[in-house]
Structure 1
Amino acid sequence: MSLSLQFITILVMAGSGMYLGIAADTFHRFHNRKKRRTWILYINEILFWILQGLVIFYILYLTNYGQLRLYIWLALILGFAFYQSLLRVWYLKMLEHLIQFSVTTYQVIRRLIQRIIIAPLSWMLKVLTYLLTLFWAVVIWVILLPWKIVRSPLLFIGKQIKKYIPENIKKFFLSFLAFCSKILNNLVDFWKAIFAKRR
């Protein structure tokens, strides 16, 4: 390798060492060890470091086609040590501020969605349900109103005709009227119960 390529490789590996420290601190910050089982911790740690090794090797491959030299390891360690000694405290503070900002932003957006979208939709749904219930109550009342008006005259006429109707036809007619009346009364009670619950 030429001297310029070696110098670029050293700088890139030093930067990769700093990246490795940043990635490790970020991973450990979000990786809650207290709430996870031991074997899950081990698996996650192994997968994390395998991934970081692949990333570092890919960067090295892009820089000098993956040629390993002693100074490359030294540059990587130097970059990692530089991050640990000078940048780690600053980065962790910045990471905490960024996490807090993200959490606050999420909470604000969630409250806005709750108040601007969900709450009005919920109110509109309640109003629509009430109006539909009221509409059906009015429809039932309109349907039953003629029956209530003509019921008494029909009963009176029926009593007069009853005297001249044979006994078997009389029983059938009375049972049919009782059945119809029972159905209508059940419908009225059903809709009254629904309407009362919606109030």
Structure 2
Amino acid sequence: MTLHVQFYTLLMMFLSGAAMGTMYDVLRVLSGKLRLPRWSIPITDGLYWIVATILVFRLLMHSNDGQIRIFVFLGMGIGICFYFAFLSTWVIRLTLLLIKTVIALYRFLYRTVEILLIKPIIALYKLVLIILGFLAAVAIFLYKIVLQLLYPMWRLFLWMTRPVRKWFVIPAWLKRLWDKTKAIFRRLFSK
């Protein structure tokens, strides 16, 4: 292995150590902000280590065909220490800023959809209910007027058919139907 390959591997492991620190801080901030349940901590830790292992393995395969030497661990250790000494606070601030931006964007989109879509639909629904209620009131009013206009004709019809009704024998079921009809008309006109 040449000196160039060793320095390249050292640089890749330095970057992988810094990337592992970045992923750790981002995961820590996200789990704190999302308030993940306690049972999910082992799952997220396991996922972190799987992703970190794949990252280190891929970089190691790319840099020196997967040969493990002491400078591999040295490079990762230097990268992690460098990250936590100089970059950790910036990554945490950036992650918090991104979370606040996403939350603000979500609230803006939610409010926009509420104002432009939901509130007009609710207003239209209320307007339709008011119009239907008004039309129903007008229909009931007209119905009562028509009934009151027809009542004299109904009384005239009853008076004119009284002699005929006395001559004919009406079956019992027809008489019951006639009595029910008269009772309905009496209830309608007595109000």
Give the TM bin, normalised by the shorter chain.
Answer: 0.7 to 0.9
Do the aligned partners of residues 137 and 59 (structure 1) sit closer, same or farther apart at CA in structure 2, a change above 3 Å counting? farther
Do the aligned partners of residues 155 and 89 (structure 1) sit closer, same or farther apart at CA in structure 2, a change above 3 Å counting? same
Do the aligned partners of residues 69 and 179 (structure 1) sit closer, same or farther apart at CA in structure 2, a change above 3 Å counting? farther
Deviation for aligned residue 1:136: 4.3
Q: State the TM-score, normalized to the length of structure 1.
A: 0.75
Deviation for aligned residue 1:21: 0.4
Deviation for aligned residue 1:81: 0.5
Number of matched pairs: 183
**What SS is found at the alignment partner of 1:44?**
helix
Q: Which residue of structure 2 aligns with residue 162 of structure 1?
A: 162
Cα-Cα RMSD: 3.0
Do the aligned partners of residues 161 and 48 (structure 1) sit closer, same or farther apart at CA in structure 2, a change above 3 Å counting? same
Unaligned 5+ segments in structure 1 are: 186-199
CA distance in 1, matches of 2:181, 2:156: 14
Q: Which residue of structure 1 aligns with residue 131 of structure 2?
A: 131
Q: Which residue of structure 2 aligns with residue 36 of structure 1?
A: 37
Do the aligned partners of residues 16 and 144 (structure 1) sit closer, same or farther apart at CA in structure 2, a change above 3 Å counting? same
Do the aligned partners of residues 58 and 178 (structure 1) sit closer, same or farther apart at CA in structure 2, a change above 3 Å counting? farther
Q: How does 1:168-179 map to 2 (within 5 A)?
A: 168=170, 171-178=175-182
Deviation for aligned residue 1:180: 6.2
Unaligned 5+ segments in structure 2 are: none
Q: State the TM-score, normalized to the length of structure 2.
A: 0.78
Identity of aligned residues (%): 22
CA distance in 2, matches of 1:118, 1:173: 52
Relative to structure 2, which stretch is displaced further, 74-83 or 146-155?
146-155
Q: Which residue of structure 1 aligns with residue 150 of structure 2?
A: 150
